[in-house]
A and B are shown apart, each in its own frame.
Chain A
Amino acid sequence: MHRYQAGAADRRAMLDAIGVGSVEELFASIPERLRLADLPLPVGASEDEVRREFWGYALRNVTPDCAASFMGAGVYRHTVPAVADALVQRGEFFTAYTPYQPEVSQGTLQAIFEFQTFVCQLTEQDVANASLYDGATAVVEAVLLAHRVAGARGRVVVAASLHPDTRRVLDTYCAAQGIEVTTVPWDRAGRVDREALARAVGADVCAVVVQSPNVFGVVEPLPVVAELARGCGALAIQAVAEATSLGLLVPGGRYGFDVVCGDLQAFGVPASFGGPHVGFLATKQQHVRQMPGRLVGETVDRCGRRAYVLTLATREQHIRRAKATSNICTNHGLMALYVTIVLSLLGKRGVRELALASHSLAEFVKAGVRSSAKLTLAFPDGPTYNEFLLRHDDPEGVLARLRQEGILAGVASTRLSPDLPPGILVAVTEQNTREECVRLLQALERVS
């Protein structure tokens, strides 16, 4: 028998108790013509053999650990406290199910309640849910929330500086819902064009969506966006792809944004080739009953002790079915726990210090670019947090040459979308040393 399964004597005892001669008899309800003759897969392997195969996959990859990495564009490399992974590897956390039985799930429930609190603090919103899949689907859920709240309004206005992948995902969902998407271009500073935005909004618009910092790393004028959205009765939605920026930038919540959503991966979650990361959605109290996904609330037990429980479930698919606020069931709970641990460790001082260090290093590199005769910022007038677009007509060529020097200089904007200005998105974090930054600048000078 297999090491993960019961043994031969177990099987015999079960068969005898059931009163059948063989397991085959238990499958009698499956018609013969639906049967699988043979499973064309290798036979089972030992742990050692499996480990060998997977080391093989791993060794065929080159990880950013081997290089000076300035890659971002939606996935960022920040401090990874050993404690976070050690704690999420506790079987009590990772081998538990969604906390349906609160009396034996208080650990998970309290951690989610803490997660919701952290997200509210970062975004300056009233309520946050227990996580969503990722940043792109979080933006979709925010738009669908706005669509429900704003009744018959069938149009959403989106800044062209939204991450192109997020935009693609939004397009997929909106097509199915019959929601029209209007795009607003960026201005010379790489920020949403105010005049164009003012023209785009109207009484048929349910939401205005900007990402800040946007795909160019530029901080959007959130107060202006909030005012224009409010002016036409639409919900203002801020997407956040680089969540550590919330340690240094005023979030949309303060300006009256209805939703702040995005991905918290930047708080130390492994890049893992794109997932799993951790989507989040925070909003105002008035929208709570239109929120997607799970929510944990505080209550008391029969003895009056404080305790936590999944709540407002009448929004959800298992109760409301076709009328649910979302189809989501399983979310990204363990990643939310991971981020909760990282945020606990960083705390009041660390959240800011991490952001300030990343910003300072990025400004150091930007200063080097500005002082170079050969290098050009795509948006020199756009304020940025820790990522910026370096203008270049052959970004892939430059990136390839720098890779040979052990530098992952960033992400080609053209890889994200042919509609973006050609260049290299350079992301700098507290993980980059001064020496790496200098080396990057020198290498860029040399090949430009």
Chain B
Amino acid sequence: MTGHDTRAKEGLIFERSSPGRVGYQLPRLEVPLVDPAATLGEAARGEIEDLPEVSEVDVVRHFTRLSKWNYSLDEGLYPLGSCTMKYNPRINEELARLPGLAHLHPLQPEDQVQGALALMWELEQALVAITGMARVTLQPAAGAHGELTGMLMIRKALEARGERRRVVLVPDSAHGTNPASAVFAGFEVVELASTAEGTLDMEAVRRAVAEGGVAALMATVPNTLGVFEPAIAEVAKILHDAGAFLYLDGANLNAFVGVASPGAMGADALHINLHKTFSTPHGGGGPGAGPVAVSAALEPFLPVPTVERQGDRFVLAYDRPASIGKVRGFYGNFAMLVRALAYIRSLGRDGLRSMAEGAVLAANYLRKGLEGDYHLPYRGASLHEVVFDDSRQKAFGVTNIDIAKRLLDYGFHAPTMSFPLIVHGAMMIEPTESFGVDELDAFVRAMREIAREARETPEVVKQAPVTTPVARLDEVRAARSPILRWRR
């Protein structure tokens, strides 16, 4: 065989190294080469052993081969619940790479970056319109970073009132980042058990708030079951009456853009995952962007700088005495902001609303298609995602993990597994608005076929996947004696 077998595993780049190969050429040096021992003394370092020596062609082949071992959204449905894996438009990639945007140094004088500041200002206006909130900071680098930023603002607002409240209420259905972010903002987390319907327990909320010391409640709307919190406005009122704040996790914003408004719900802070709702690519693990929209009550505490408009000029404003300060270097993941605004412009008010509609339609279509074969533990009306469990398959010894692995054989990525924690054996499915009925049908067929296999030939499901580049991994071994880097 002469060609490359795409089933053969590509070695590590370090293992491809061959002495004397180079993959670069720098501009000719026109000044004398300095002897670093003379200028830097003992701080000077020699060549780093074991860095690879490979040609440019080697590098292209290596990473191209690696790429083929990935499943990707471009290939098909990627129904990870609460991840909103929607189409990533190529025009956004093109625009983010315009030299007039991509090459800007963040410390150029303001008169040289008016276009960049205008773009940021426009994005803030658009997000204000979408959320119905007072202001938006574009700085946080991801959703969890946004949560932390929002919780720091709440902390600062309480301090400004001379209050030191320690408790943050988080429902047991929440994303793990919620309690973690609250703790890193200096709070203690009290977990609230959900109702039998999987929603916020109003009595528990009232009781917890009445006990005192509550700074905020963090809720996800719609919640991680894809169900709208019917009493969210009442929750806001209970909190506000007690001088506490409502933090909304906007991970599921795709469900209601253009339909409902977090501002009307009474939110004080809401992060927006641009890499979910607004199509910026997830990149195999980021970069994302997690702007935070705030109510007027939290506006004084926004991180610096903000982008302000002064006539037809835009400036970076640092004069915000009550600010929480800075939460990262510079002003935000600007290249992701470019993509998000391009998406908002491409969709417009009509496209944004039909985006939410399409997402909700698709989720309900999958629910309808799968509820005959899979158990639906919570039967409330689904918005953009639906959560099944594996209880019917467990009878045959097949778990949600087995089902996930078998789906890979059918050419699909798996749903989010074992989350939310209130559902045992959860399979959380979010199709997004990006797929036609034919693609959704193919997914339903695969899932139903797996349900049949679970009944008739469960060992097939338990052995899966068999068509992927590697079979099931020994994850215990990876954790027990971790090998986290290559060594010669």
Contact = CB atoms under 8 A, between A and B. Distances in A.
Contact of B361 (A26, A64, A165, A323): A26
B365 A18 contact: yes
Contact of B347 (A44, A116, A137): A44
A116 B12 CA distance: 12
Given A403-B109, A437-B31, A341 B346 contact: no
A348 B69 contact: no
A56 B469 contact: no
Interface stretch (B181-189, B207-215, B389-397, B446-454): B181-189
A296 B408 contact: no
Contacts of A323: 183
A317 B59 contact: no
Given A26-B381, A108-B285, A168 B325 contact: yes
A26 B233 CA distance: 20
A324 B100 CA distance: 40
Interface residues of B, number: 203
Contacts of A152: none
Interface stretch (A98-106, A197-205, A225-233, A369-377): A98-106
Contacts of A297: 478-479, 482-484
Given A26-B361, A43-B348, A45-B348, A61 B113 contact: yes
A128 B48 contact: no
B433 A361 contact: no
A209 interface: no
- The residue in A9, A92, A116 that gathers the most chain B C-beta atoms within 10 A of its C-beta is A92
Interface in B355-382: 355, 357-358, 360-362, 364-365, 368-369, 380-381
B70 A108 contact: yes
Interface stretch (A153-161, A180-188, A270-278, A439-447): A270-278
B287 A335 contact: yes
Please classify how large the interface on chain A is, using the bins under 10, 10 to 19, 20 to 34, 35 or more: 35 or more
Contacts of B357: 23, 26
Interface in A320-356: 320-324, 326-337, 340-341, 343-354, 356
A87 interface: yes
Nearest to B405: A103
B129 A42 contact: no
Interface string A244-279: 001111110000000000010000001111111100
Contact of B470 (A5, A26, A106, A131): A106
A295 interface: yes
Interface in A157-203: 163, 165-166, 168-169, 171-173, 175-178
B204 interface: no
Contacts of B275: 330
Interface string B36-79: 10011111111111111110100110111011111111110010
Contacts of A300: 473-474, 477
Given A41-B348, A75-B106, A92-B72, A117 B29 contact: no
Interface string A2-33: 10111101110111011100010011111101
B39 A383 contact: yes
B174 to A, nearest CB: 9
A100 B80 contact: yes
A165 B304 CA distance: 11
A311 B333 CA distance: 27
B228 A29 contact: yes
Interface in B106-165: 106-109, 112-116, 118-119, 126, 129-130, 132, 141-145, 147-148, 152, 155
A95 B74 CA distance: 6
Interface stretch (B238-246, B255-263, B292-300): B255-263
Contacts of B424: none
B325 A133 contact: no
Interface string B335-359: 1101000101111111111110110
A288 B140 CA distance: 26
B109 to A, nearest CB: 7
Given A117-B12, A272-B334, 16 more contacts: A6-B433, A9-B437, A39-B258, A50-B346, A63-B100, A96-B284, A101-B413, A104-B465, A105-B69, A134-B329, A271-B106, A275-B336, A299-B474, A328-B145, A350-B26, A352-B46
17 contacts: A14-B362, A14-B364, A14-B440, A26-B357, A63-B104, A65-B103, A75-B106, A96-B71, A103-B472, A117-B485, A169-B325, A274-B332, A275-B328, A313-B479, A326-B184, A332-B141, A343-B51
CB-based closest 4 A-B pairs: A274-B330, A58-B100, A333-B285, A334-B283
